[in-house]
Structure 1
């Protein structure tokens, strides 16, 4: 099953007097259904063992590929859904004041050591001994979380209604080769105004923002089993090589290698449980 998002259950989680509360379940679903928008007092660390998890907050969509995790600060309204076969672990965290944990929503890379800690944390009793071995494991988890590298796997969503409409249009037709001026005219603004608004609200040019959208869509489709060639065509690239070049520039690695590195250790982790 997946993390229950009923308000009574979340209230119960928030009332447990521990710095870390595990969901005590590993989701293993063909497709993770979208949860209703919700929030909780404790922060949430959602670790993707396999598949792709998408986390939507008001101003961004976060993509969480295998062997990564999304950090959702406490009190932040969000919704979560999956792409492809999804397996994940969810931990609710009320961090102590000392550790330098993320202050904003972010996607982080999970090392092999950190991954084993998260697996162990999922087995902790609800009211573990804070001063015993379990409490020391939780302390090390906070240390690893504070040191984990952040990945730029986010699609910023502008607050302006016209730019939100543009985002919807781009998502609906990612292969559309319209010019920036043509996209601007579709939301009734000038090309200059469009570029200025995007720079102010998402800190990106139109071209980079659209490429970031393509990375998000590509990871969703690739995790569902589509080939690089099929994804390239769906996104409007003339060839698979041109799509791979874009992906490498944005992410640092070609898509097949990027996903392979994250999937390689997943079967071993599954066997360990």
Structure 2
């Protein structure tokens, strides 16, 4: 398939589920600063690599942020919605559920090795109906082996299902700089602070404070990958100073925001 632009040109897109091949690949490039794909699904699973820009992907089980040099796995038949920020370059492989029984059953994000990235980039230029049993098939077999052995990337935010917590999440996403306390959020949701803490743990497996910190980290990575400065991100997330934001980022991911993004972009053409 071709390297697609977005929005797609007429007759450019071929539905991957309609192509009788175990793996279907393509690339995506756009200079739009932001675009969204509403909730949809495919029969085939989907490996989506980000080379430039950042993606957020929401599906059952949570929200994933995908910065450069990471990929997200979306199992077949899983409803998902995607948002992209920054000028975007990405590569995608749609995988038939029967292509490899080792494929993850749940959505996840992985760190992309140089080999996996090069395989996805090369495969994006394969014809849609490549010769089965030929060179393309053998390379795609290696691609699946490399993906299955890739290490996980912990930019995942469990999303609650309780309607009261979802209202809090919607507000946080609309106003990420709102730093109100747990007790204030609890009163807005019509419960006590203790009840909000207990419900958050039940729904997400995290304390309210830990969930909120993970939310901030994911937004930070998304915005940094989209081209925002560290100062802009710190201000947008409601931090009183850049050093306090950098300290939080380093404690969570082990490196400063600048070093994190430099490592992600070091070998991006």
TM-score when normalising by structure 1:
0.89
Contact 1:44/1:71 (CA < 8 Å) preserved in 2? yes
- The structure 2 residue matched to 1:71, chosen from 57, 70, 73, is 73
Distance in 2, matches of 1:124 and 1:160, equals 44
The residue correspondences of 1:58-97 to structure 2 (distance < 5 A) are 58-96=60-98
Distance in 2 (CA, whole Å) between partners of 1:4 and 1:39 is: 18
Residues 1:70 and 1:182: Cα distance change in structure 2 (over 3 Å): same
Is 1:13 matched with 2:21?
no
Question: Bigger CA drift: 215-224 or 205-214?
Answer: 215-224
Whole-angstrom distance in 2 between the partners of 1:258 and 1:101:
28
Pairing 1:202–2:204 present: yes
Question: Per the alignment, in what secondary structure is the counterpart of residue 33 of structure 1?
Answer: strand
Residue of structure 2 equivalent to 1:248: 250
SS in 2 for 1:125: coil
Work out the CA distance in 2 between the residues paired with 1:235 and 1:4.
Answer: 30
State the Cα distance separating 1:253 from its structure 2 match.
Answer: 1.9
Structure 2: stretches of 5+ with no match in the other structure: none
Shift of residue 204 of structure 1?
A: 0.6
Question: Could you tell me which residue of structure 2 aligns to residue 222 of structure 1?
Answer: 224
CA distance in 1, matches of 2:97, 2:143: 11
CA deviations over 1:67-104 (Å, ceiling 9, x no partner): 11111110011111211111111221114464522211
Q: Displacement of 1:32 after TM fit?
A: 4.1
1:112 to 100, 109, 114: 114
* Cα displacement (A) at 1:39: 0.3
1:96-144 residue CA offsets vs partner (Å, 9 max, x unmatched): 4645222111111111111111111111222222322211111111111
Shift of 1:48: 0.6
Q: TM-score, normalised by structure 2?
A: 0.91
CA contact (8 A) 2:177 2:238 kept: yes
Pick from 143, 146, 159 the counterpart of residue 145 of structure 2.
Answer: 143
- Contact 2:177 2:237 (8 Å CA) reproduced: yes
Runs of 4+ in structure 1 deviating by more than 6 angstroms, as ranges, are 8-11
Segments of 5+ residues of structure 1 without an aligned counterpart are 268-273
Aligned counterparts of 2:123 and 2:99: Cα–Cα separation in 1: 20
Alpha carbons 1:26, 1:89 under 8 Å: kept: yes
Name which of 22, 25, 30 aligns with 2:25.
Answer: 22
> Against the structure 1 CA distance between its residues 64 and 233, is the aligned structure 2 distance closer, same or farther, given a 3 Å change threshold?
same
Q: How much has 1:3 moved relative to structure 2?
A: 7.2
What SS class does the counterpart of residue 239 from structure 2 fall into?
A: coil
| Structure 2 counterpart SS, 1:129 | coil
Aligned alpha-carbon RMSD (Å): 2.1
Looking at structure 2, the residues matched to 29 and 17 of structure 1 have their Cα atoms a distance apart, in angstroms, of 31
- Counterpart CA distance in 2 for 1:159 and 1:2 is 35
User: How many residues in Structure 1 have an aligned counterpart in Structure 2?
Assistant: 264
Q: What is the SS of the residue equivalent to 1:56?
A: strand
Cα separation, 1, equivalents of 2:178 and 2:133: 58
